[in-house]
A and B are shown apart, each in its own frame.
Chain A
């Protein structure tokens, strides 16, 4: 389980725009091991989403390298799952068609892959909704469909970009639990980006605190809170202690 799956080596990114150059990321080095759940927190506008774009290979850093499973990210064919603030389901497709989207794009829409998709759908309680349109589903269920949509492509790593911020607080807690359980169940490595400290410590084994722009690592904290799920962790007395630690770190 201790195999290194993702490595960022001295990554930096400078944006060019009409108004000049912006250094968004600087000297960012990180090693993620298989099965890790890493959370990245930082002040808003510090380039957290930029980090995820680099890790997914959509954005090329101006300096440094990104490795997936020991290979350069642009040479490796590994799929990296991406979840957004909104579920980004396509309203004109049914739940099933939404889940099939990635397979259609990759032209892997084989019966074997469909079988796997069906298994996931059944396992996570969506079997009755496969022919429904997304608008007929609750916010939590929509997010679950979005997660399965990425899981059918068998990603090695899941990138989560504040995936719960569009939900109301009540749903957010239960969906957070839900998503966490699915990720752990499927033994996926996950990198979560958020500005919500409590969300980060309730889910992650490792929290990375970023500085203001240009984003660089200020502190890496291992989280050791007892509790098997985010909800249980929130009940632990260590939780608020850890919260204060990171909050102070961010504030400084």
Chain B
């Protein structure tokens, strides 16, 4: 396979088909987004939809420009992004740590099982008022909200992945004289790498849910704040602009996780 061979005609055709298919998919993807905004703008310009309620792409661009000019845009983006990132990192790290502790100690695992199940099914937003009272109406409360949303499912997913390890592999390690710590670091954790990556992907979405929910409850700045504020004063342009920026940010963060996945798989 390493040697250069002459590519057969069938192979050439196959490669061409694959390439054409890819081009088609990408152009359709671009077409959809262009059409979406074009139709939206068309309906707004012709007065079919009420611009006051539905906003319009042009208005969104104008709002974006205004925010940029006033210097507020990056301030709000930075605050929300910071909250989402910190929540994501803390929840993932803590969840990982707790999952390890529960894997290590099966008695503790049995004791805590019902509590974890109840906490998992509890809608975390119900805790909102309590969090505000405990952590104050600010950034801290928002980050705690985001952490709460992610941490339980992180613990459950990772613990299940740890426990799903092949028994024979553990016996193999034991027959070589491995202690529990070696089994954990050389087998259990690397064996759960696929699940760990999928947890990262889930959390990278969930952290935005938690952050924006938190900002709805308490905030003086951030994209969630802009959305709530915009809807209260009926500035739908502001709401739509903020939502679009959120889409972009979430996409960028997801892309980052995919990059980590690629690097890990390469090794």
- The residues of A with any CB-CB pair to B shorter than 8 Å are 53, 56, 58, 79-82, 84-86, 88, 90, 92, 101-102, 104-106, 153
- B173 close to A58 (CB less than 8 A): no
- The residues of B with any CB-CB pair to A shorter than 8 Å are 166, 168-169, 171-178, 182, 186-187, 190-191, 193
- B190: chain A residues at CB < 8 Å are 90, 92
Contacts known (A88-B166, A88-B168, A90-B187); A80 close to B177, Cβ less than 8 A: no
Q: How far is the CB of A224 from chain B (nearest CB, A)?
A: 32
- B172 close to A88 (CB less than 8 A): yes
- A88: chain B residues at CB < 8 Å are 166, 168-169, 172
- B177 close to A79 (CB less than 8 A): yes
Instruction: Offer 27 A-B interface pairs, CB within 8 angstroms, sorted by A.
Output: A56-B175, A58-B171, A58-B174, A58-B175, A80-B175, A81-B175, A82-B171, A82-B172, A82-B175, A84-B168, A84-B171, A84-B172, A86-B168, A88-B166, A88-B168, A90-B169, A90-B187, A90-B190, A92-B193, A101-B176, A101-B186, A104-B186, A105-B176, A105-B182, A105-B186, A106-B176, A153-B176
- Option from A53, A79, A85, A105 in Cβ contact (under 8 Å) with B178: A105
B265 nearest CB neighbor, chain A only: A92
Q: How far is the CB of A52 from chain B (nearest CB, A)?
A: 9
- B173 close to A105 (CB less than 8 A): yes
B264 nearest CB neighbor, chain A only: A92
Q: How far is the CB of B176 from chain A (nearest CB, A)?
A: 4
C-alpha spacing A102/B172, complex, angstroms: 9
A56 nearest CB neighbor, chain B only: B175
- A53 close to B177 (CB less than 8 A): no
A146 nearest CB neighbor, chain B only: B172
Contacts known (A92-B193, A101-B186, A105-B182); A79 close to B169, Cβ less than 8 A: no
